[in-house]
Amino acid sequence: MATYEYLCRECGRFDVQLPIGTAPASRDCSACGRGARRVFSPPGLSRVHPALSAALDLDERSREAPEVVSNIPREHPPRPPHPALARLPRP
């Protein structure tokens, strides 16, 4: 089974799962029943988690216009040692 994407002018995009190669160029919308046309999208990329999508967009933008650092970032305060490390044997 493959997932095909259709676009309804009233309801927006919706997905339909059909056997590979059997998707018609148009189909009735599952919500309103009006005609919807098939749209082509990269496989599997329509279901990318929003956080991953934002990270990929940021990566793509940074290739063309990287952020310029104008000063050295301040150092973070040192972390306290983990309590479990205090129980380890010392030489």
90 within some domain: no
- Strands (DSSP E) contained in the chain are 2-8, 12-18, 26-28, 35-39
Q: What are the pLDDT tens digits along the chain (91 aa)?
A: 888 899 999 889 898 999 988 989 999 998 898 899 999 877 665 577 888 888 888 888 888 887 787 888 788 888 888 888 888 888 7
35's CB contacts (< 8 A; 6+ apart) are 8, 26, 27, 28, 29
pLDDT (tens digit per residue) in 18-34:
998 898 999 999 889 88
- Does the predicted TM-score (pTM) go above 0.95? no
- SS3 state of residue 3: strand
Cα–Cα distance, 3 to 19 (Å, whole number): 9
74 within some domain: no
- SS3 state of residue 9: coil
Please count the structural domains in the chain. 1
In the block, residue with structure tokens 């129980």:
87
Give me the domain span that covers residue 52.
2-63
82 within some domain: no
